[in-house]
Amino acid sequence: MGQFCTSPGLVFGLRDANLSAFIEKTAQAAALTPPGTMLYQAVCDRFHEGVEKTRSISGVRVAAQSSVAGIAGQASAIVLTADANTFLQNEALRDELFGPATLIVSCSSTAEMERIAGSLPGQLTASVHGTEEDLANHQTLITILQRKAGRLIFNGFPTGVEVCAAMHHGGPYPATTDPHFTSVGTNAIKRFARPVCFQNFPSTRCRPSCKTGTSGVFGGWSMGK
């Protein structure tokens, strides 16, 4: 039901026949998707409020919505579209719709896409779909996304997070409060650790301890005589 903090809520592409086909296919899939139950009623209510707010913005249109009506606590998939100018002129379109909604933004040029990328707030993830040649031809865009997201994915989707050393689940504010740390993976413990340097201390006088030493405690380590 789109209730992932890494679900693709915003999609950007260059306006051409390929993007038109993508919108059509996505709309068809959304129309056939039955409503689903949200985590709880308040989340569902906020989703519906956000969708109505987005739909009311001039320049935004509904490409498709689930054709089956849901019951209380359920939400229907919806695909919205807008052009780059509409997106840039309306700050509200950057707000997350936490649920089964996607806004597809068509750009007239690479420069316009780069301008949009630069205007985005911090993100947990950014996915790039294309070829290796596309990557080579859009290095400026990739550089911008490096500053905007904590994880970049090529031809994939970022919904899974694995507890391993390679995983990073963070990004510039407001994606996370501190972009230097991950909330999952083996390095997540570093959020709760503070490095302390004991310069020129004898190794026998700097030991891990849960007790207070005679000279006090520093970051969970005691100094003893």
CA distance 134 to 125: 19
Is 137 within the bounds of a domain?
no
Given 119, 142, 158, which residue is the final one in a domain?
A: 119
CATH of the domain at 97: 3.40.309.10
Mean pLDDT of the chain: 87
pLDDT in the model for residue 225:
37
Neighbouring residues of 172: CB distance < 8 A, sequence distance ≥ 6:
121, 122, 123, 147, 148, 149, 150, 179
Is 192 within the bounds of a domain?
no
Q: With contact defined as beta carbons under 8 Å apart, do 147 and 122 qualify?
A: no
- pLDDT above 90 covers a percentage of the chain that reads 61
Is 39 within the bounds of a domain?
yes
Given 75, 96, 119, which residue is the final one in a domain?
A: 119
Q: What pLDDT digit, counting tens, does each position of 185-216 carry? A: 888 888 888 888 888 888 776 665 544 444 44
CA distance 121 to 196: 33
Mean pLDDT, range 125-139, rounded to an integer: 94
pLDDT in the model for residue 41:
93
CA distance 196 to 110: 47
Decide if pLDDT at 24 tops 50.
yes
Domain carrying residue 213: 200-225
**DSSP code per residue over the chain:** ---STTS--EEEEESSHHHHHHHHHHHHHHHHSPPEE-SSHHHHHHHHHHHHHHHTSTT-EEEEE-SS---TTEE--EEEEEEHHHHHH-GGGGS---SSEEEEEEESSHHHHHHHHHHS--EEEEEE-S-HHHHHHTHHHHHHHHHHEEEEEESS------SSTT-----TTTT-S-TT--SSSGGGGGGG------TT--GGG-EE-SS--TT-EETTEE---
Given 95, 119, 143, which residue is the final one in a domain?
A: 119
Number of domain units in the chain:
2
Mean pLDDT, range 80-97, rounded to an integer: 96
At residue 66 the predicted structure's pLDDT band, cuts being 50, 70 and 90, is confident
Among 155, 149, 168, 99, CA closest to 128? 155
Q: What pLDDT digit, counting tens, does each position of 78-87 carry? A: 999 999 999 9
- pLDDT above 70 covers a percentage of the chain that reads 91
pLDDT in the model for residue 208:
57
Is 183 within the bounds of a domain?
no
Decide if pLDDT at 28 tops 80.
yes
* CA atoms lying within 13 Å on the CB side of residue 20: 4
Q: Note the pTM of the prediction, 2 decimals.
A: 0.81
Partners of residue 218 on adjacent β-strands? 221
